[in-house]
Amino acid sequence: MSRPINVHLVPGLFEPADLRGGVAVVIDLLRATSTIIHALASGATSVVPCGEVDEARRLASQAPAGSVLLGGERRGMKIPGFDLGNSPGEYTRELTAGKTLIFTTTNGTRALIRAKEARRVLIGALANLEAVVELLAEESGPVHLVCAGTEGRITLEDVLCAGAIAHWFNLAADDADPSDDATQLALHLFASCGHNYDRAYEDRVLAILGRSRGGRNLIDCGLIADIAVCAEQDKFDIVPELSRDPWEIRVARKKK
Protein backbone atom coordinates (compact mmCIF):
# COMPACT_ATOMS: atom_id res chain seq x y z
CA MET A 1 0.00 0.00 0.00
CA SER A 2 1.25 3.49 -0.81
CA ARG A 3 1.96 6.10 1.86
CA PRO A 4 0.33 9.44 1.01
CA ILE A 5 2.28 12.56 1.97
CA ASN A 6 -0.23 15.26 2.89
CA VAL A 7 1.02 18.80 3.37
CA HIS A 8 -1.46 20.87 5.40
CA LEU A 9 -0.68 24.46 4.50
CA VAL A 10 -2.37 25.82 7.66
CA PRO A 11 -3.94 23.97 10.62
CA GLY A 12 -7.44 25.22 9.69
CA LEU A 13 -7.32 23.20 6.46
CA PHE A 14 -7.71 19.84 8.20
CA GLU A 15 -10.02 18.40 10.83
CA PRO A 16 -8.17 16.86 13.82
CA ALA A 17 -9.78 13.46 13.06
CA ASP A 18 -8.26 13.48 9.51
CA LEU A 19 -4.87 12.74 11.09
CA ARG A 20 -5.95 9.57 12.94
CA GLY A 21 -3.81 6.57 12.03
CA GLY A 22 -1.12 8.74 10.43
CA VAL A 23 2.20 10.19 11.53
CA ALA A 24 2.13 13.99 11.80
CA VAL A 25 5.14 16.28 11.69
CA VAL A 26 4.34 19.73 13.07
CA ILE A 27 6.44 22.49 11.50
CA ASP A 28 6.82 26.06 12.75
CA LEU A 29 10.22 26.81 11.32
CA LEU A 30 10.22 30.46 12.51
CA ARG A 31 10.41 29.64 15.34
CA ALA A 32 8.44 27.38 17.70
CA THR A 33 9.52 23.95 16.44
CA SER A 34 13.10 25.12 15.85
CA THR A 35 13.18 26.35 19.45
CA ILE A 36 11.69 23.15 20.90
CA ILE A 37 14.40 21.14 19.09
CA HIS A 38 17.15 23.47 20.41
CA ALA A 39 15.79 23.27 23.98
CA LEU A 40 15.71 19.45 24.00
CA ALA A 41 19.11 19.23 22.29
CA SER A 42 20.44 21.47 25.10
CA GLY A 43 19.27 18.98 27.70
CA ALA A 44 15.75 20.11 28.66
CA THR A 45 14.02 17.00 30.00
CA SER A 46 10.69 17.82 28.35
CA VAL A 47 8.64 20.62 26.82
CA VAL A 48 5.01 21.15 27.88
CA PRO A 49 3.15 22.97 25.08
CA CYS A 50 0.35 25.30 26.23
CA GLY A 51 -2.15 27.12 24.06
CA GLU A 52 -2.61 30.03 26.46
CA VAL A 53 -0.31 32.25 28.55
CA ASP A 54 -2.40 31.90 31.73
CA GLU A 55 -2.32 28.12 31.50
CA ALA A 56 1.49 28.21 31.17
CA ARG A 57 1.79 30.49 34.21
CA ARG A 58 -0.52 28.25 36.25
CA LEU A 59 1.46 25.08 35.40
CA ALA A 60 4.74 26.81 36.27
CA SER A 61 3.38 28.01 39.62
CA GLN A 62 2.45 24.41 40.55
CA ALA A 63 5.90 22.96 39.74
CA PRO A 64 8.69 22.56 42.34
CA ALA A 65 10.86 25.69 42.56
CA GLY A 66 13.77 25.68 40.13
CA SER A 67 12.48 22.72 38.10
CA VAL A 68 10.82 24.59 35.24
CA LEU A 69 11.45 27.39 32.77
CA LEU A 70 8.65 29.46 31.27
CA GLY A 71 9.28 30.22 27.62
CA GLY A 72 7.50 31.55 24.57
CA GLU A 73 6.25 34.64 22.82
CA ARG A 74 3.34 36.83 21.92
CA ARG A 75 3.73 39.18 18.94
CA GLY A 76 7.23 37.69 18.62
CA MET A 77 8.48 39.05 21.95
CA LYS A 78 9.16 37.44 25.33
CA ILE A 79 6.02 37.39 27.52
CA PRO A 80 6.23 39.58 30.67
CA GLY A 81 7.36 37.49 33.66
CA PHE A 82 8.61 34.61 31.48
CA ASP A 83 12.19 33.32 31.76
CA LEU A 84 12.88 33.06 28.04
CA GLY A 85 11.41 34.14 24.71
CA ASN A 86 11.21 32.14 21.49
CA SER A 87 14.73 32.60 20.09
CA PRO A 88 16.39 29.17 19.67
CA GLY A 89 19.76 30.62 20.67
CA GLU A 90 18.44 31.55 24.13
CA TYR A 91 18.06 27.86 25.03
CA THR A 92 21.65 27.19 26.02
CA ARG A 93 22.76 24.09 27.90
CA GLU A 94 23.64 26.27 30.87
CA LEU A 95 20.08 27.58 31.25
CA THR A 96 18.11 24.62 29.98
CA ALA A 97 19.71 21.31 31.02
CA GLY A 98 17.62 19.28 33.44
CA LYS A 99 14.66 21.68 33.28
CA THR A 100 11.09 21.21 32.09
CA LEU A 101 10.18 23.94 29.61
CA ILE A 102 6.60 25.20 29.82
CA PHE A 103 6.12 26.77 26.42
CA THR A 104 3.49 28.83 24.64
CA THR A 105 3.68 30.53 21.25
CA THR A 106 1.14 32.17 18.98
CA ASN A 107 0.85 29.53 16.27
CA GLY A 108 3.29 26.67 16.86
CA THR A 109 1.93 25.30 20.12
CA ARG A 110 -1.64 25.66 18.82
CA ALA A 111 -0.77 23.67 15.69
CA LEU A 112 0.63 20.94 17.94
CA ILE A 113 -2.59 20.81 19.94
CA ARG A 114 -4.65 20.55 16.73
CA ALA A 115 -2.47 17.65 15.47
CA LYS A 116 -2.82 15.60 18.65
CA GLU A 117 -5.10 12.92 17.20
CA ALA A 118 -2.42 11.57 14.86
CA ARG A 119 -0.96 8.18 15.82
CA ARG A 120 2.40 9.88 16.34
CA VAL A 121 3.09 13.61 16.52
CA LEU A 122 6.69 14.56 15.71
CA ILE A 123 8.38 17.96 15.84
CA GLY A 124 10.20 19.00 12.67
CA ALA A 125 12.31 21.88 11.38
CA LEU A 126 15.39 22.24 9.20
CA ALA A 127 17.50 21.70 12.34
CA ASN A 128 16.50 18.00 12.43
CA LEU A 129 15.45 17.40 8.80
CA GLU A 130 17.44 14.21 8.17
CA ALA A 131 16.50 12.65 11.52
CA VAL A 132 12.79 13.26 10.86
CA VAL A 133 12.99 11.78 7.35
CA GLU A 134 14.78 8.70 8.67
CA LEU A 135 12.12 8.11 11.32
CA LEU A 136 9.28 8.63 8.82
CA ALA A 137 10.86 6.12 6.44
CA GLU A 138 10.83 3.47 9.18
CA GLU A 139 7.19 4.18 10.05
CA SER A 140 4.02 3.09 8.26
CA GLY A 141 0.83 4.82 7.17
CA PRO A 142 0.08 8.31 5.85
CA VAL A 143 2.41 11.21 6.61
CA HIS A 144 0.88 14.57 7.53
CA LEU A 145 3.16 17.60 7.34
CA VAL A 146 1.34 20.24 9.40
CA CYS A 147 2.44 23.81 8.71
CA ALA A 148 1.68 26.09 11.67
CA GLY A 149 1.25 29.22 9.51
CA THR A 150 0.72 32.63 11.08
CA GLU A 151 -2.69 33.43 12.52
CA GLY A 152 -4.47 31.22 10.03
CA ARG A 153 -2.46 32.39 7.01
CA ILE A 154 0.03 30.43 4.94
CA THR A 155 3.69 31.16 5.65
CA LEU A 156 6.35 30.45 3.06
CA GLU A 157 8.92 29.25 5.58
CA ASP A 158 6.78 26.39 6.89
CA VAL A 159 5.82 25.32 3.35
CA LEU A 160 9.50 25.32 2.36
CA CYS A 161 10.39 23.06 5.29
CA ALA A 162 7.43 20.76 4.49
CA GLY A 163 8.72 20.60 0.90
CA ALA A 164 12.19 19.61 2.13
CA ILE A 165 10.78 16.80 4.30
CA ALA A 166 8.45 15.63 1.49
CA HIS A 167 11.31 15.62 -1.03
CA TRP A 168 13.73 13.55 1.06
CA PHE A 169 11.02 11.23 2.39
CA ASN A 170 9.80 10.59 -1.17
CA LEU A 171 13.33 9.50 -2.08
CA ALA A 172 13.79 7.43 1.09
CA ALA A 173 10.51 5.44 0.95
CA ASP A 174 9.64 3.39 -2.17
CA ASP A 175 5.93 3.55 -1.38
CA ALA A 176 5.63 7.33 -0.75
CA ASP A 177 2.87 9.07 -2.71
CA PRO A 178 3.44 12.84 -3.07
CA SER A 179 0.56 13.42 -5.52
CA ASP A 180 -1.51 15.64 -3.20
CA ASP A 181 -1.72 19.16 -4.69
CA ALA A 182 -0.51 20.99 -1.56
CA THR A 183 2.42 18.54 -1.37
CA GLN A 184 3.34 19.30 -4.99
CA LEU A 185 3.22 23.00 -4.19
CA ALA A 186 5.62 22.51 -1.28
CA LEU A 187 7.90 20.31 -3.43
CA HIS A 188 8.07 23.00 -6.12
CA LEU A 189 9.01 25.63 -3.56
CA PHE A 190 11.76 23.42 -2.15
CA ALA A 191 12.99 22.54 -5.67
CA SER A 192 13.46 26.27 -6.35
CA CYS A 193 16.32 26.16 -3.80
CA GLY A 194 18.08 23.25 -5.54
CA HIS A 195 18.68 20.16 -3.44
CA ASN A 196 22.39 20.00 -2.90
CA TYR A 197 23.52 21.38 0.39
CA ASP A 198 25.94 24.04 -0.82
CA ARG A 199 26.40 27.78 -0.51
CA ALA A 200 23.94 28.61 -3.31
CA TYR A 201 21.28 26.40 -1.70
CA GLU A 202 21.81 28.05 1.70
CA ASP A 203 21.54 31.51 0.13
CA ARG A 204 18.27 30.61 -1.62
CA VAL A 205 16.78 29.17 1.59
CA LEU A 206 17.78 32.30 3.51
CA ALA A 207 16.30 34.54 0.80
CA ILE A 208 12.95 32.71 1.00
CA LEU A 209 12.93 32.84 4.81
CA GLY A 210 13.78 36.55 4.77
CA ARG A 211 10.78 37.43 2.61
CA SER A 212 8.35 34.98 4.25
CA ARG A 213 5.56 36.15 6.57
CA GLY A 214 7.36 34.74 9.63
CA GLY A 215 10.69 36.20 8.50
CA ARG A 216 9.22 39.68 7.97
CA ASN A 217 7.65 39.53 11.45
CA LEU A 218 11.02 38.67 12.99
CA ILE A 219 12.76 41.50 11.10
CA ASP A 220 10.08 43.92 12.40
CA CYS A 221 10.80 42.66 15.95
CA GLY A 222 14.57 43.22 15.54
CA LEU A 223 15.17 39.47 15.61
CA ILE A 224 16.69 38.96 12.16
CA ALA A 225 19.54 36.82 13.61
CA ASP A 226 16.99 34.10 14.47
CA ILE A 227 16.32 33.52 10.77
CA ALA A 228 19.88 32.30 10.14
CA VAL A 229 19.79 30.09 13.25
CA CYS A 230 16.53 28.43 12.11
CA ALA A 231 17.92 27.96 8.57
CA GLU A 232 20.81 25.78 9.78
CA GLN A 233 20.10 22.31 8.48
CA ASP A 234 20.75 18.99 10.26
CA LYS A 235 22.28 20.68 13.27
CA PHE A 236 20.78 18.03 15.58
CA ASP A 237 20.06 14.34 15.24
CA ILE A 238 17.04 14.20 17.56
CA VAL A 239 13.34 13.83 16.83
CA PRO A 240 11.07 15.24 19.55
CA GLU A 241 7.64 13.63 19.91
CA LEU A 242 4.45 14.73 21.66
CA SER A 243 3.11 12.30 24.24
CA ARG A 244 -0.57 12.72 25.09
CA ASP A 245 -0.43 11.20 28.56
CA PRO A 246 1.46 12.82 30.17
CA TRP A 247 1.05 15.88 27.93
CA GLU A 248 4.66 16.70 27.03
CA ILE A 249 7.28 16.59 24.29
CA ARG A 250 10.35 14.44 24.76
CA VAL A 251 13.12 13.19 22.52
CA ALA A 252 11.69 10.12 20.75
CA ARG A 253 15.04 9.08 19.45
CA LYS A 254 18.40 10.06 18.11
CA LYS A 255 19.22 9.46 14.47
CA LYS A 256 21.10 6.18 13.92
Site for ligand MLT, rule CB under 6 A:
28, 30-32, 73, 76, 86, 105-108, 148, 150
Q: Which is nearer to ligand MLT, 86 or 100 (CB)?
A: 86
Supply the minimum distance, in Å, between the C-beta of residue 221 and ligand MLT.
7
Supply the minimum distance, in Å, between the C-beta of residue 162 and ligand MLT.
15
* C-alpha separations of 231 from 76, 81, 117, 142 in Å: 18, 29, 29, 27
Instruction: State how far the Cα of 91 lies from the Cα of 99, in Å rounded to an integer.
Output: 11
Q: Which is nearer to ligand MLT, 84 or 187 (CB)?
A: 84
Q: Which is nearer to ligand MLT, 22 or 76 (CB)?
A: 76
Q: Which is nearer to ligand MLT, 31 or 120 (CB)?
A: 31
Instruction: State how far the Cα of 55 lies from the Cα of 67, in Å rounded to an integer.
Output: 17
Q: Which is nearer to ligand MLT, 66 or 222 (CB)?
A: 222
- The answer for residues whose C-beta is within 8 angstroms of residue 33's C-beta and 6 or more apart is 26, 27, 108, 123, 124, 125, 148
- The answer for residues whose C-beta is within 8 angstroms of residue 198's C-beta and 6 or more apart is none
Q: Which is nearer to ligand MLT, 32 or 70 (CB)?
A: 32
Closest CA to 29 of 39, 19, 37, 18: 37
Supply the minimum distance, in Å, between the C-beta of residue 31 and ligand MLT.
4
Residue 142: burial class (beta carbons within 10 Å; 0-12, 13-18, 19+): buried
Supply the minimum distance, in Å, between the C-beta of residue 163 and ligand MLT.
19
Cα dihedral sign for 116, 208, 31, 234?
positive
Instruction: State how far the Cα of 58 lies from the Cα of 192, in Å rounded to an integer.
Output: 45
Supply the minimum distance, in Å, between the C-beta of residue 89 and ligand MLT.
13
Supply the minimum distance, in Å, between the C-beta of residue 200 and ligand MLT.
27
Q: Look at residue 251 and give its three-state secondary structure.
A: strand
